[in-house]
Amino acid sequence: MAAEPTPDPVLVQRARAQRWAALGQRLGYLLFACSIVVFIFGLIVGFSDTVSRIVIFGVIAGSVVLAPAIIAGYAVKAAVRDDIEHGRPV
């Protein structure tokens, strides 16, 4: 009976980073989308302090979450591309 090979720890870490980057991107874009919806709501119904705070929070939190997630996503893609170019297993 053959034992299964141990997965490469670099590939495991890269897959984990890709999952976190994808989750961060989804969350960041969701925060931006919520901000846009609340902003449009504020335009139609009228702005209040609560509406303004929700929009500002959504934009700031979306930026804080989305920027590193995008960078991490590009880093993972670059690492995969480098492995392919140098003939390493992906």
Confidence of residue 2 (pLDDT cuts 50, 70, 90): low
Q: Is the pLDDT of residue 17 over 90?
A: yes
Confidence of residue 1 (pLDDT cuts 50, 70, 90): low
Q: How far apart are CA 87 and CA 48, in angstroms?
A: 58
Q: Are 66 and 29 in contact (CB under 8 A)?
A: yes
Question: What amino acid is encoded at 47 in this protein?
Answer: F
How confident is the model over 9-27, as a mean pLDDT?
95
Radius of gyration of the chain (CA): 20
How confident is the model over 73-81, as a mean pLDDT?
95
pLDDT digits (tens, 9 = 90+) for 21-76: 999 999 999 999 999 999 999 999 999 999 999 999 999 999 999 999 999 999 99
